[in-house]
Structure formats: C-alpha cells, structure tokens
Amino acid sequence: MKVVLEHLTKKFPNRNKKIKEDVVAVSDFTFEIPDGKLIGLLGPSGCGKSTTLNLISGLEAPTSGRIYFGEEDVTDISPENRDIGLVFQNYALYPHLTVEQNIIFPLQNLKGDKKMTKQQMKEKALETAKLVQIDPYMSRKPSELSGGQQQRVAIARALVKLPKVLLLDEPLSNLDARLRLQTREEIRRIQRETGITTIFVTHDQEEAMSISDEIVVMKDGLLQQIGKPQAVYDHPVNMFVAKFLGTPPINIFRGEIKSKQLYIGDDRICETDHGDMQVYVGIRPEGVILKKGGSLVCRLNRVEVMGRDTSACCSNDNAVSESIRFIIPSDEMTGDEGDLVAFDIKPSKLHLFDAETENVII
Ligand code: ADP
Ligand code: MG
C-alpha cells in the first residue's frame, strides 16, 4: 500500500503560553512512500518525526493537507479504521496479559467477516510470534521478558492483523547497543518477508541508513531531502544534511572561490567552475589521502588507532568544527603528533556549500 502525503501541515499552540505564535511541527510535507518499502524518517529531536507519524496513523489531525493510502483519502478516517500497526519506543504491553494474549488482543475486536474463532486467533498469534521469534515464550508475562523480547511482542501485536502500513516510532531506543543492532536487522527481515509498507522513525542516522530503502531527512518541521541512503550521503542538498549523516561527521572548513580556484586559507585545493564566492567546504573523514605536498595542510594533534584504520585528529585555522578527523588506512599513516601534515582530497568526498544559504553549490 503506497502512502501519499500532500501539503501536510500540523501546527500546535505553543506550550509556552507567553509565545503567541503556533509551533509548526510539520510544514507543507509532500511525498510519496512507495508500496512495500521501508522508509526511515530521520532528524534531530523535536524536528517533527513523531508528529508526522501520528498524522499518518490518525492519532493527530492535520491543520491542512491530505493523506492517501493507495488511492483512498484517509485524512478523515479514525486510527482504528486505517488498518495500521503501531509500535512505540516504550513497548506498552498489557502487563497482566501473557505474550499470547497480548498478541491476540487486536484480533478480538475484528467484526463481520473478519471475525475469528478462539482457535483461529491462537493460530494467527503463533504464526506471528514465529515471525518475530518470540514463540517459545507465549505463556510468559511481559515482566518475565528482556527489553528486546518485549519489543518483539509489541511488533508481533502490531503485525498480527497484517496492517496495510506499519509505523514504528523510535522502536529501538530503549534497547542496549547489541540488541539494537540485532533487532533492527530483524525488523528489516520481517519487513521484507511481509512486504508491508513501513515507516521507521529514528534520530539515529546510522540506524536509518542501515535498514531503509529510502530515508527522509527532516529539520524544524521541514523536509530536507529524500533518497536512497547512499545517494543522500553522497549528494547532500545542504550543510545540515551533510552534517547529520555519517560517523565520524563530515569536516567543515571556511573556504573561498577566487578566479576558478577553491581555497581553504592559503591552501589551493582544486579548480572549480564556479564564480568568486565565500563557501563552506565539507570533506568526509574518509575523503583524503595523506601525501607529502598534498593540497590541504593541517596540524596533526593526535592519532587514534582503530585497527584496520587510524583516525587522524587535526586542526586547521579555517575549520569550523574544533576538531577535524580523517580516517587513514593504518599502513598509510605517517607523521608524529604536533607535525604539519598534508592531504590530497578525493573529489567525490568534497562538497561545496554557499556560505550564506548553506545549500550545496551545483
Ligand atoms: P520529534 O518526534 O522529531 O522529536 P515531535 O513531532 O514530537 O518531534 O515534535 C515536533 C515539534 O512540535 C516540537 O517542537 C514539539 O515541542 C512540538 N509539539 C509536539 N506535540 C505537541 C503538542 N501536543 N503541543 C504543542 N507542541 C507540540
Ligand atoms: Mg519523537
């Protein structure tokens, strides 16, 4: 089931009563989520991710704009009748019910020809529990399960009715690092197996990049960029997106284009077609080659050994961020702490942003 958002806007009265202006949590969103795909909705805390999800689920009504599931306009349909599955950060299971009873719960209210017998419900619950690999624990109470297991029960409960759309709001945030990795791979597997159109909200760029068919990057209620994770990483439309994706983060320098040459301070970096202007230069950590006589000179402050690679922590008077970090293969790393070192920059890893608008220069 494809999901289409059309000029979707949600305003809230400001929680701070002294401020008269509304908070625009979601501003004029238009995009299409293709059928059967997993979309990662990504952005910093407070950017409007949950509000977007709540609009799609029907828990919130939009101030303006429309929502379509397939060709059907669902904007005025109540959440119960939208055929969605919802999973939140806190598992929100019924503590007094067993795993099986929790999973069965949504099936009990089905009406008409969808109505099931007790036996059918039990079978359906078991089938779904197997999908999320929680079937050995059907008779346990939530308190007898680990966080990861509880979240799998919550996912099973959301899936048991085979919803048209699965909505997950930071479902892994309460899990420890190892479980988070494992559970995100499981969500991906389950999504592939069921083919249910899924929207996965997270503030964790690595999480979104690793499991999404496409990512949607938001900031301050505004959609910034949509695309395949690698494409957004390789071609960010502005400095915010460039900085938000990637660990370690992209290094940003103040730069200048003069007579078709790009400079960072006195260092001439490369030729360019653009006219004279002030720019920000973004260089990905993996985007340099350590080389005597290289175009960009930095001071090497510290070398961190990471095994296969080393991390060269440097400084440069024109760096915007205090510390610059370049990833260098261990066998290519030379230079002592305190030395000046030079780097050549891989053209595909260099991004130029207008110093005023912070939009990428094309
Ligand atoms: P996210 O999920 O990305 O962290 P939210 O969608 O929860 O962000 O919130 C987006 C913005 O809308 C925030 O500034 C938040 O304070 C505001 N907001 C969310 N819900 C309400 C509400 N019920 N009343 C007032 N402001 C709200
Ligand atoms: Mg949220």
Distance in angstroms (rounded) separating the CA atoms of residues 249 and 326 = 10
Ligand 1 atom 24: residue of nearest CA: 12
Averaged pLDDT for residues 278-286:
98
Segment 24-62, tens digit of pLDDT: 999 999 999 999 999 999 999 999 999 999 999 999 999
Task: Say yes or no to pLDDT of 16 above 90.
Answer: no
51 lines ligand 1 (CB under 6 A): yes
Segment 167-217, tens digit of pLDDT: 999 999 888 888 889 889 989 999 999 999 999 999 999 999 999 999 999
Task: Say yes or no to pLDDT of 91 above 80.
Answer: no
How far, CA to CA in Å, does 66 sit from each of 31, 84, 196, 226, 324? 11, 17, 21, 19, 44
Ligand 1 atom 25: residue of nearest CA: 12
Distance in angstroms (rounded) separating the CA atoms of residues 84 and 63 = 21
Residue 41's DSSP bridge partners are 201, 216
pLDDT category at 111 given cuts 50, 70, 90 is confident
15 lines ligand 1 (CB under 6 A): yes
Q: Which atom of ligand 1 is nearest to the CA of 218?
A: 3
**Could you give the residue range(s) of every CATH 3.40.50.300 domain in the chain?**
3-243
198 lines ligand 1 (CB under 6 A): no
In 3D space, the residue among 254, 258, 250, 251 whose CA is nearest the CA of residue 279 turns out to be 254
Q: What is the mean pLDDT of the chain?
A: 94
In 3D space, the residue among 297, 274, 295 whose CA is nearest the CA of residue 346 turns out to be 295
Q: What percent of the chain has pLDDT over 90?
A: 84
Q: Which atom of ligand 1 is nearest to the CA of 169?
A: 2
Instruction: Using DSSP, state whether 136 is helix, strand or coil.
Output: helix
Q: Which atom of ligand 1 is nearest to the CA of 60?
A: 23
Centre of ligand 1 from the C-alpha of residue 280, in Å: 31
Ligand 1 atom 1: residue of nearest CA: 46
Q: What superfamily would CATH give domain 3-243?
A: P-loop containing nucleotide triphosphate hydrolases (3.40.50.300)
Residue 264: the pLDDT is 97
Higher pLDDT, 90 or 318: 318
The answer for residues whose C-beta is within 8 angstroms of residue 148's C-beta and 6 or more apart is 175, 179, 182, 183
pLDDT category at 362 given cuts 50, 70, 90 is confident
pLDDT category at 19 given cuts 50, 70, 90 is confident
Instruction: Using DSSP, state whether 247 is helix, strand or coil.
Output: coil
Ligand 1 atom 10: residue of nearest CA: 48
pLDDT category at 102 given cuts 50, 70, 90 is very high
Averaged pLDDT for residues 66-71:
97
Sheet of 72-73, strand order:
23-33, 3-12, 64-69, 72-73
The continuous run of DSSP H or E covering 77 comes out as none
Task: Say yes or no to pLDDT of 112 above 90.
Answer: no
In 3D space, the residue among 150, 162, 232, 154 whose CA is nearest the CA of residue 194 turns out to be 162
